[in-house]
Amino acid sequence: MSSSAESKRLVIDASVATSSGEQGRRGEMCQSFLRVMIDETVHRLVMTREIGSEWDVHSHPFARRWRRSMNARRRVDRPSVDRDLALRKRIDKANPTEKSLAAMEKDLHLIEAAKATDNRIISLDDTARRLFSTVSGSIGELGQILWVNPANETETPIQWLKEGSPNEEPRMIRSFS
């Protein structure tokens, strides 16, 4: 188990909770990530009201049991996160297409939760990550957020988790292409 000095607060998108029940490699990778997080680290789950609602609707039974176990171990943080209207304006000013803007707005609550905690998002949504990356040049605070896809083996998500989820440039939104 990692030392408490390495404890990080991770924003885990409902996409991971949903996919943890899928057959095949993606589901296995999501399940493994969640298992390692609870069993081999001291990391905490970030559960805002909005993220919790998504999990309530979209979670597979495995993810629901995992979340209850995290709760029982007192490893769930429930920050109250307000909508960041200034950030939303800057994203709008970066002039993405209507479709891109709509896609980013759908996941902005993850960004807001990450900014309020330890700047770490765990999500399968590489499209949203790419969109945020394209506007991160003009919105520096976006670029500093780490985004890890737990089902992408080339990102070595489990190794990263076990190593304490360190800040690594290739995992930052600004580095995603």
- pLDDT of 52-105, one tens digit each? 999 999 999 999 999 999 999 999 999 999 999 999 999 999 988 999 999 999
Task: For residues 141-163, give the mean pLDDT.
Answer: 96
Domain limits of the chain?
4-175
> What SS3 string covers the chain?
CCCHHHCCEEEECHHHHHHCCCCCHHHHHHHHHHHHHHHHCCCEEECCHHHHHHHHHHCCHHHHHHHHHHHHCCCEECCCCCCCHHHHHHHHHCCCCHHHHHHHHHHHHHHHHHHHCCCEEECCCHHHHHHHHHHCCCCHHHHCCEEECCCCHHHCHHHHHHCCCCCCHHHEHHHCC
Name which residue leads in pLDDT, 137 or 1.
Answer: 137
pLDDT of residue 1: 52
pLDDT of residue 75: 98
Percentage above 90 pLDDT, the chain: 91
User: pTM of this prediction?
Assistant: 0.94
pLDDT of residue 173: 96
Q: In this structure, which topology does domain 4-175 adopt according to CATH?
A: Rossmann fold (3.40.50)
